Amino acid sequence: MDSIHIAGIRAYGYIGFLPEEKVLGQWFEVDLTLGVDLTRAGETDNLEDTLDYRDAIARTKSLIQQSKFALIERLAAAIAESLLELEKIQQVRVKLTKPAAPIPDFGGKIAVEIERSRKQG
């Protein structure tokens, strides 16, 4: 399957298990791999024949900014579900990173990665 990769979507949100995450918020980063048939767009050079990825970016940022989930796993799933509503996307991989995890003596990043496909039928 063909794919469109979008890396480095950043937005501020209030997702987290700890009370301070829900009040203070934090930055999140998302990388997307969108499974799309690009055959027609490769032939026609028309935007109408491909995915306008501006919509995917806007949906992702909006979910980060407006959601109030406890787990980043739930946010990643919500992003995938929303993107699969777009007609041209058949499959999506979402990598969601929490760059500043509030864990004592840990300066690294936490990320989850999920892959979902459009249900057939």
SS3 call for 60: helix
- Please say if 98 is a catalytic residue: yes
DSSP 49: G
Given the DSSP bridges, would you call strands 26-36 and 89-98 parallel, antiparallel or unpaired? antiparallel
Catalytic residue, chosen from 22, 98, 109, 119, is 98
**What is the greatest pairwise CA distance in the chain?**
54
For residues 117 and 8, give the distance between their C-alpha atoms in angstroms, rounded to a whole number: 22
- Please provide the size of the chain in residues: 121
Active site residues: 98
